[in-house]
């Protein structure tokens, strides 16, 4: 056990989407592929709404084939496999963080075409995704150029320390398996004479793991499900509220969080992004393994003028439009309006990943329940000087590996943190199918009350009992000067470190 180090790894979030279309790049929309009387058409696309791309600006994978089978128990060499995409003669290397050709397209991912195929009718209960080996056998086709360079294979991640090979599990040679238990409704139904959209979600925030030896390994966690993009989208627009300088004006680069409550009653971020130049956003498509209603939490960007209260819209269904969500200018006078700073130390008796969230306790007007929502963290996280300061992702913070000189308890690992958050209380409303929402300006202009939550992200990362710890409630005016609160320390105990 080190006395002064807790490596805490930020991972990525990206999606692999199978949808339909004829162009190599198309915007969100349903399938329009031709069909036949005896089969149904499945178009294969990639899509990436990146939500945690700050640690790894580029993630390259090289795809060779996608297959499907009606038999949930079929082995890779059994009969019945149908090819959705065959790129074995011309593998495609793609940057999953930059599939979207326009930065202004935000996180409603433009779809990147891999191909299309007509399949026999039936319910396909197993899917396999094949990647090119980092050391392909002689005679194996490879892309004409390699973004990973000559020493990082054909699958890699780009870090602050350079390009690193993404170590592949042995299963990629027989296809990364998505069983029926990880496919919505147990499989994809293909109907003769019709087209169908299939979404494969590559859960990279859980799948790309930095190991103790410094290598990066793919431990794939995949889900899949049929997608109808017109009904699998949550969209809206963020505008200035009535007390802002330009009421009704679009707010670009606003942070938008899609959240659902976990078993402990904490609203956790499941998708996130920022608004386009016209203030619009769209989660497109909503991840296929997510069901029920969602809470949409919005905040201004770091350095925005004016600074805004966060806004919360409760109970938004899949397919729902939130309408215009207002962001109200912070008006509290004690402290002066503007972002607040919260800092402290996370301590653990084992080293691993810890996800840090700033929570505000708000009341849901629809049922008067109290909900701890995750509030957007603004700006950059502050970490000790022996690590680069990483641009803060627009969700929570997952601290990078860092060391602390002194201050750790005996036999413990620890890391310091600093969070920048809105200083004022949230504006709250409820989804309305007609108007979108009824968010109104907060009646109180007092400083916000927060708790800080540290969550161990679980196997194969740090595992603790309990899995999380939450600080006592505090306001950002507790310390001086102004909107600064220090000494918010948290200690995770009974922890088990990941295997090397």
pLDDT, tens only, 237-271: 899 998 888 888 989 888 888 999 988 888 988 88
Residue 245 lies in a domain: yes
Same domain, 104 and 191: yes
CA distances from 340 to 67, 246, 480 (A): 51, 24, 11
Same domain, 139 and 215: yes
Per-residue model confidence (pLDDT) at position 177: 93
Same domain, 167 and 293: no
The answer to whether the pTM exceeds 0.85 is no
Does the pLDDT at position 382 exceed 50? no
Residue 499 lies in a domain: no
Residue 497 lies in a domain: no
pLDDT (average), residues 156-171 = 88
Same domain, 273 and 348: no
Per-residue model confidence (pLDDT) at position 422: 85
Cβ-contact 89, 55 below 8 angstroms: no
The first and second tokens of residue 386, run together, are: 């022996």
% residues pLDDT > 90 (the chain): 25
- Tell which wins on pLDDT, 429 or 286: 429
Same domain, 379 and 277: no
Does the pLDDT at position 102 exceed 60? no
* Boundary residue ending a domain (295, 327, 359): 327
Per-residue model confidence (pLDDT) at position 98: 72
Does the pLDDT at position 406 exceed 90? no
CATH number of residue 275's parent domain:
2.60.40.10
The 10s digit of each residue's pLDDT in 328-348 is: 988 655 455 677 888 888 877
Residues 6+ apart with CB under 8 A from 137: none
Does the pLDDT at position 278 exceed 90? no
Q: Of all helices (H) and strands (E), which one includes residue 394? A: none
Comparing C-alpha atoms, which of 208, 203, 231, 232 is closest to residue 219? Answer: 208
% residues pLDDT > 70 (the chain): 71
Does the pLDDT at position 80 exceed 80? yes
The 10s digit of each residue's pLDDT in 455-480 is: 876 545 667 788 888 888 888 765 55
* Boundary residue ending a domain (302, 327, 352): 327
- Tell which wins on pLDDT, 149 or 42: 149
Residue 441 lies in a domain: no
The first and second tokens of residue 370, run together, are: 């109290």
Does the pLDDT at position 72 exceed 80? yes
Residue 443 lies in a domain: no
Query: Strands 40-46 and 195-196: what pairing?
Result: parallel
* Boundary residue ending a domain (226, 248, 265): 226
The 10s digit of each residue's pLDDT in 6-44 is: 333 332 333 333 333 323 323 344 333 444 457 887 766
- Tell which wins on pLDDT, 486 or 326: 326
Comparing C-alpha atoms, which of 281, 291, 285 is closest to residue 327? Answer: 281
Per-residue model confidence (pLDDT) at position 14: 31
Same domain, 281 and 185: no
pLDDT-derived band at 5, boundaries 50, 70, 90: very low
Residue 138 lies in a domain: yes
Q: How many helices, marked H, and strands, marked E, lie in the chain?
A: 1, 39
Query: Strands 311-316 and 427-432: what pairing?
Result: parallel
Q: Of all helices (H) and strands (E), which one includes residue 207? A: helix 204-207
CA distance 282 to 238: 11
Does the pLDDT at position 82 exceed 90? yes
CA distance 348 to 491: 6
Does the pLDDT at position 68 exceed 70? yes
Per-residue model confidence (pLDDT) at position 8: 35
pLDDT-derived band at 143, boundaries 50, 70, 90: very high
The count of domains in the chain is 3
Per-residue model confidence (pLDDT) at position 283: 80
Per-residue model confidence (pLDDT) at position 40: 81
Same domain, 349 and 310: no
Does the pLDDT at position 388 exceed 50? no
Per-residue model confidence (pLDDT) at position 378: 74
- Tell which wins on pLDDT, 405 or 471: 471
In terms of average pLDDT, the best of 101-105, 111-115, 264-268, 479-483 is 264-268
pLDDT-derived band at 209, boundaries 50, 70, 90: confident
Q: Return the residue matching tokens 């009606």.
A: 70
Residue 250 pairs in a beta bridge with 239
The first and second tokens of residue 376, run together, are: 């957007």
Q: What is the DSSP letter of 204?
A: H
The backbone torsions φ and ψ at residue 226, rounded to the nearest 5 degrees and listed phi first, read -65, 140
pLDDT (average), residues 182-208 = 80
Same domain, 320 and 398: no
Which class for 149: exposed (0-12), middle (13-18), buried (19 or more C-beta within 10 A)? Answer: exposed
In terms of average pLDDT, the best of 25-39, 50-64, 170-184, 444-458 is 170-184
Residue 440 lies in a domain: no
The full 3-state SS of 54-115, as one line of letters, equals: CCCCEEEEEEEEEEEECCCCCCCCCCCCEEEEECCCCCEEEECCCCCCCHHHCCCCCEEEEE
Least confident stretch, 99-108, 205-214, 390-399, 462-471: 390-399
Comparing C-alpha atoms, which of 412, 376, 422 is closest to residue 489? Answer: 412
Residue 453 lies in a domain: yes
CA distance 127 to 184: 12
CA distance 61 to 155: 5
Same domain, 199 and 86: yes
Same domain, 164 and 220: yes
Q: Average model confidence (pLDDT) for the chain?
A: 75
Q: What is the DSSP letter of 392?
A: P
Identify the domain containing residue 470 by its residue range. Answer: 340-425+448-492
Residues 6+ apart with CB under 8 A from 181: none
Query: Strands 111-119 and 40-46: what pairing?
Result: antiparallel
Same domain, 193 and 259: no
Same domain, 380 and 263: no
Least confident stretch, 175-184, 287-296, 459-468: 459-468
């Amino acid at each position: 056990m080190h006395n002064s180090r807790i490596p805490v790894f930020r991972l990525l979030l990206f999606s692999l989407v199978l949808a339909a279309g004829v162009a190599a790049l198309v915007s969100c929309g349903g399938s329009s592929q031709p069909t036949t009387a005896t089969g149904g058409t499945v178009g294969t696309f990639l899509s990436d709404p990146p939500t945690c791309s700050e640690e790894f600006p580029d993630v390259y994978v090289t795809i060779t084939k996608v297959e499907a089978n009606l038999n949930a128990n079929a082995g890779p060499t059994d009969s019945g496999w149908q090819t959705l995409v065959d790129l074995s003669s011309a593998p495609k290397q793609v940057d999953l963080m930059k599939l979207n050709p326009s930065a202004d397209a935000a996180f409603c991912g433009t779809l990147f075409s891999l191909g299309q195929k007509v399949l026999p009718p039936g319910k396909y209960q197993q899917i396999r995704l094949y990647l090119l080996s980092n050391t392909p056998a002689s005679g194996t086709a490879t892309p004409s150029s390699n973004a990973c360079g000559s020493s990082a294979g054909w699958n890699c991640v780009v870090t602050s320390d350079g390009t690193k090979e993404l170590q592949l599990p042995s299963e990629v040679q027989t296809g990364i398996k998505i069983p029926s238990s990880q496919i919505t409704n147990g499989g994809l139904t293909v109907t003769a004479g019709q087209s169908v959209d299939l979404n494969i979600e590559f859960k990279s925030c859980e799948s790309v793991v930095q190991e103790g030896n410094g290598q990066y390994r793919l431990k794939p966690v995949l889900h899949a499900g049929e997608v109808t993009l017109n009904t699998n989208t949550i969209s809206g627009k963020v505008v200035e509220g009535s007390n802002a300088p330009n009421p009704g004006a679009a707010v670009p680069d606003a942070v938008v969080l899609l959240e659902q409550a976990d078993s402990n009653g904490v609203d956790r971020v499941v998708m996130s992004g920022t608004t386009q130049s016209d203030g619009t956003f769209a989660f497109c498509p909503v991840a296929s393994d997510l069901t029920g209603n969602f809470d949409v939490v919005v905040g201004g960007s770091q350095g925005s003028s004016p600074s805004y209260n966060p806004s919360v819209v409760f109970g938004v269904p899949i397919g729902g439009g939130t309408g215009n969500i207002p962001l109200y200018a912070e008006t509290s006078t004690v402290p002066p309006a503007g972002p607040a700073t919260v800092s402290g130390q996370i301590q653990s008796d084992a080293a691993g990943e810890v996800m840090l969230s700033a929570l505000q306790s708000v009341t849901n007007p629809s049922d008067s329940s109290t909900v701890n929502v995750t509030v957007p963290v603004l700006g950059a996280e502050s970490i000790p000087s022996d690590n680069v300061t990483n641009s803060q992702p627009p969700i929570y913070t997952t601290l990078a590996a860092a060391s602390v000189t002194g201050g750790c308890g005996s036999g413990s690992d620890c890391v310091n943190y600093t969070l920048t958050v809105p200083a004022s209380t949230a504006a709250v409303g409820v989804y309305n199918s007609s108007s979108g929402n009824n968010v109104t300006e907060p009646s109180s202009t007092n400083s916000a009350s927060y708790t800080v939550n540290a969550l161990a992200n679980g196997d194969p990362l740090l595992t603790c009992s309990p899995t999380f710890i939450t600080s006592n409630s505090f306001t950002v005016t507790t310390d001086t000067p102004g909107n600064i609160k220090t000494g918010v320390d948290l200690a995770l105990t009974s922890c088990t470190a990941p295997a090397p």
